[in-house]
Amino acid sequence: MAAGSGRYRRATVRALTERRPRSLAGQVFLLQLTVGLLLVLGALAALLVTSRNDTEQAARSRSVAVAQTFAYSPGVRAALRAPDPSKILQPLTEEARKHAGVDFIVVMNTHGIRYTHPKPEDIGKHFVGNIGPSLAGKVRVESVNGPLGHEVQAIVPITDRGSVVGLVSAGMKVASVSRAIAGHLPVIFGISGVALALATAATAVITTRLRRQTRGLGSAEMSRMYEHHEAVLHAVREGVVIVSDDGRLLLANDEARRLLALPEDAEGQAVAQLPGLAPELAGLLASGRPAADEIHQTGGRLLAVNQRRTDRHAAGMGTVATIRDSTELRLLSGRAEVAHERLRLLYEAGVSVGTTLDVARTAEELAEVAVPRLADYVTVDLAAPVLRGDEPAGSGAQQMLRTAAHGIRGDLPFHPPGTLITFVDGTPQARGMDTGRSQVVSDLSTTHTWQLPDPERARRVLACGIHSLIATPLNARGNILGVANFWRSQKPEPFDEEDRSLAEELVARAALSIDNARRYTREHALAVTLQRSLLPRTLPEQSAMEVAHRYLPAQSGVSGDWFDVIPLSGSRVALVVGDVVGHGLHAAATMGRLRTAVHTFSTLDLTPDELLGHLNDLVDQIDQEEADTADGTGITGATCLYAIYDPVSRRCDVARAGHPPPALVHPDGTVEFPELPACPPLGLGGVPFETTELTLPEGTQIVLYTDGLVEERTRDLDVGMELLRGALSRPGRSPEENCRAVLDQLLPDRPRDDVALLIARTRVLGPDRVAAWDVPFDPAAVARMRSSISDKLGEWGLDELAFATEVVVSELVTNAIRYGSPPVKARLLRDRSLVCEVADGSNTSPHLRYAATMDEGGRGLFLVAQLTERWGTRYTPQGKVIWAEQQLPTGTNLPPT
């Protein structure tokens, strides 16, 4: 067909060019004159039709406007309710009709009975027209044969409080409309004459231009030029297209017709209207803008288009475009680009998946990196034991926990994270975990096995346009940890083998990260269990303080933070907080050894500085033992703060070894960080520790903590201390409330270090619970002490303990006078037990021994040990104190804990 079209064009050109250019120009002149005349006649007909339509439309619009205006006029509704509506409305309608330029305005009731009419004799008759739509509240325009003849009328409802109470019709006779059209005819014919004159002048100008463009060439020269043009144009293997400035196709060679699938009559048509041409390519050809190797897809081909103006120095010459088929080249480059994109996805997965040692977060990272480049939705389901750090139970049907779900939309149609799901036999997930291979479901709508766990949820998935699935098992080191599901909805094509291969490689990398996180979770859980077993599970009962505590292990691993509350003799209480530098089992085990040592040393009733000195020696010994082992691991550091509070004297003795100072919250809410000597951490040695004595008002809260509470990478230590001050400076709060406030304000969501927090509010053992005597250094004073003790116990209601207490005090006072030195003092404390204390000025310590049968002495301390729960000795700067505790009788009121 293309060759035939070319032969036809060549024959036509020869026939035209055999005549002289002047004869050719004359024929063109006559042709153009004829065409111009036809165009003028067509325009005249169009103007007549348009004028008629416009006039009739104006009549309709005027009728609607007049009817609506009258319907909404004040007084019309009241007139309808009058006994004689016609008497009121007839003058009004006639006056309005004359001013509005319509032929009639008719007001009627809801039954169509006229109240007004230009012909009074028609008042009271039925209205000619369809009033049904207007009774329903609508405006109707229609043409009818009424009393005035052929009419165009509008019917408008008159409403009152939402109900139709009457109707108004306004309109014009068709004859009036025709007279309006006739008034336009002189203008139309005048315009047509002018157009014909302009067309004749334009034809003369075009003929003159044609003579110039032929340059006086004869028919032979023009035929030869055309044949050369045809030979070259259709021989090249590149499409050539010439488009005019108004977007019409002027020329297309054979290659362009093949590449663009153009019809035979394409030349002369608008490019934008050519069938089969892609809109982007049609837009480029019609725009006339320059282009260089732009790629467009049409008809399954990728075409490279170059376009420029036909004449760079003149406007209005159109554009020429050359078109090359680059489908195969683009296919190869597209495959290379796809391979590059997949390699980049795998690289990004290697960087962004497994950034933490958290199983759930690693699964979320896998889902996030795969959307949307591999799939539109990703869900990751892990075996429930994996999240706890254990190995999965095995493959096949088992409970899975939805761990991650991510997609291109926020409202996912899948089960949310945290849901337990059982993949029964036959589902793609179960088959994948049994075989260890990915399962591809190309069409979810025709495959029903994947719907077995939850058919209702499956219908919601299909309703979102999801049509294809890859279920890939998470296989790491021979264990199936779970399954990753990749869902596609945006791309119409299903997953293919290349997608399966990419999913398996992506999941294989993520599975190793999840398994590493699982192993870390198990080790972390073991370490936390060990550490918690080494920490106090419950605090001992004591009445000197109201205590609250918190311990938070770090997300990255356990460390050596610990705290303790240790009851001491004389109703005193020791508070301990310590920290072993480092993380892991080694730090937790070292912490356990140090905590045990603190308990052991505290039974000796050592002062804080002495206890830290002994603890320092122990750390030196442990460090040396660890350094001598094969791995050469030693303690990198340990800190400790030890405080003893006496509820009788309200004195608190504090010493620290490289530990942050305590905070004191006074009853009025002010917070103070007392100045304590900055002694080095344990194990460094060389500098003795110092004890600071503090006198605390009743109700003061002592806040002990480890450095994980106030130190953070993003802030200075001073900032953390001020934050702690601000969190505590609220009067009237209990220790428990202060614990919550401190952790809420100072700790991030995922703390990097362990935190131990201990808050104790002091109580005072008042004078009603304490009795003290100065004992003369004379054996005769023992009898008087027995009497005083008996009287005091009777006052306290503890007569049951009088005999044993008298024996204990007698023996202790006798030993102090016989073997000690003055001054001798005795004291009774009624606390959770009855405490007897005898102090003297010597440092000699009594020893319990078994006396021989014939010995006269040596049985006093033996009696004390038999009559009391426990007894002991503590040393003071003034000498020593021997104490003994007895359990109170059942039913005795105890002080608060």
721-749 confidence digits (pLDDT tens) = 999 999 999 998 999 999 999 999 988 77
CA–CA distance, 866 with 870 (Å, rounded to integer): 9
pLDDT of residue 6: 46
Task: Enumerate the H helices of 693-851 as residue ranges.
Answer: 717-728, 735-746, 781-796, 802-819
At 760 the pLDDT is 96
Evaluate if residue 397 carries a pLDDT over 60.
no
Per-residue pLDDT tens digits for 398-429? 678 999 999 998 889 999 999 998 888 888 99
Contacts of 742 (CB under 8 A, 6+ apart): 703, 709, 724, 727, 728, 757
Average pLDDT on 592-614 reads 92
> Under 8 Å CB-to-CB from 740, ≥6 apart: which residues?
none
> Encoding tokens for residue 382?
């892990």
- What is the model's pLDDT at position 203? 66
Structure tokens at 46: 């169009």
CA angle at 770 for the pair 767 and 774, rounded to the nearest 5°:
110
Give the residues across from 563 on adjacent strands. Answer: 577
Alpha carbons 156 and 69: distance in angstroms, whole number: 10
Supply the mean pLDDT for the chain: 82
Q: Is 758 left (phi over 0), alpha (psi -120 to 50) or beta?
A: beta
| DSSP secondary structure code for residue 892 in this structure | P
Which of 14-28, 393-407, 822-836: highest mean pLDDT?
822-836
For residue 234 the two structure tokens come to 């259709």
Q: Can you tell me the mean pLDDT for 676-694?
A: 87
Least confident of 49-53, 71-75, 221-225: 49-53
Listed ranges 230-244, 520-534, 556-570, 855-869; the one with the highest mean pLDDT: 556-570
In angstroms, the CA 40 to CA 193 distance is: 8
Peptide bond into 823 cis (omega under 30): yes
CB-based contact 575:645 (threshold 8 Å): yes
d(CA 420, CA 400): 6
Q: What is the DSSP string of 676-691?
A: ---PPPBT--SS----
Comparing 254-268, 309-323, 703-717, the range with the smallest average pLDDT is 309-323
**Closest to 751 in 3D by CA, of 469, 548, 569, 551:** 551
**Which strands make up the sheet holding 559-567, listed edge to edge?**
559-567, 573-583, 638-646, 651-657, 692-695
Helix (H/G/I), strand (E/B), else coil: 171: strand
pLDDT of residue 23: 46
> Rounded to an integer, what is the distance from CA 68 to the centroid of its chain?
56
DSSP code, position 238: S
Dihedral of the CA atoms 25, 26, 28, 33 (nearest 10)? 140
pLDDT in tens, 103-157: 888 999 888 898 898 888 888 888 888 888 888 888 888 888 877 777 888 898 9
pLDDT above 80 for 208:
no
Greatest Cα pair distance, the chain, in angstroms, is 167
Angle at 549 between CA 546 and CA 551, to 5 degrees: 170
Determine the pLDDT at residue 12: 37
Q: What is the pLDDT of residue 689?
A: 92
Q: Is the Cβ–Cβ distance between 613 and 691 less than 8 Å?
A: no
119 phi, psi to nearest 5 deg: -100, 105
Which of left, alpha, beta for 848 (phi over 0: left; psi -120 to 50: alpha)? Answer: beta
pLDDT digits (tens, 9 = 90+) for 841-864: 998 877 666 555 444 455 677 788
For residue 895, cis peptide bond before it (omega within 30 degrees of 0): no
Do the strands 824-830 and 239-243 form a parallel or antiparallel pair, or are they unpaired? unpaired
Mean pLDDT, rounded, for 57-85: 82
Mean pLDDT of 18-42: 56
pLDDT (average), residues 861-868: 82
Residues 6 or more apart in contact with residue 338 via CB below 8 angstroms: none
Residues 6+ apart with CB under 8 A from 507: 366, 472, 473, 474, 484
| pLDDT in the model for residue 667 | 94
Q: What value, to the nearest 5°, has the Cα angle with vertex 245 and ends 239 and 251? A: 30
Higher pLDDT, 14 or 408: 408
Please choose, from the candidates 601, 626, 619, the residue with its C-alpha nearest in 3D space to the C-alpha of residue 611: 601
Task: For residue range 438-453, list pLDDT tens digits in order.
Answer: 999 999 988 888 888 7
Mean pLDDT of 236-247: 83
- What residue ranges in 47-162 does DSSP mark as E strands? 104-108, 140-146, 149-160
The confidence score (pLDDT) of residue 317 equals 63
Instruction: Name the band, by pLDDT with cuts 50, 70 and 90, for residue 313.
Output: low
- At 361, phi and psi to the nearest 5? -65, -35
- Here the tokens at position 42 are 């067509």
Q: Is the pLDDT of residue 808 over 80?
A: yes
Sheet holding 149-160, edge to edge: 104-108, 163-173, 149-160, 140-146
CB neighbour class for 796 (10 Å; exposed up to 12, middle 13-18, buried from 19): middle
Element (H, E) at 482: strand 479-488
Measure CA of the first residue to CA of the last residue in the chain; give whole Å. 108
Judged by DSSP in three states, 275 sits in coil
* Low-confidence winner among 34-43, 182-191, 630-639, 850-859 (lowest mean pLDDT): 850-859
Give the range among 55-59, 274-278, 291-295, 491-495 with minimum mean pLDDT: 55-59
In this predicted structure, the answer to whether residue 182 has a pLDDT above a threshold of 50 is yes
Is the pLDDT assigned to residue 654 strictly greater than 60? Answer: yes
- Residues 406, 407, 410: CA angle, nearest 5 degrees: 95
Does 297 have pLDDT greater than 80?
no
Give residue 3's pLDDT: 44
pLDDT at 782 over 60: yes
E strand or H helix at 66, and its extent? helix 21-71
Give the residue carrying structure tokens 């404390």: 829
pLDDT of residue 209: 65
Q: Which helix (H) or strand (E) holds 506?
A: helix 497-534
- Asked if residue 118 lies in contact with residue 104, where contact means CB atoms within 8 angstroms, the answer is yes
**pLDDT given for residue 657 in this prediction:** 93
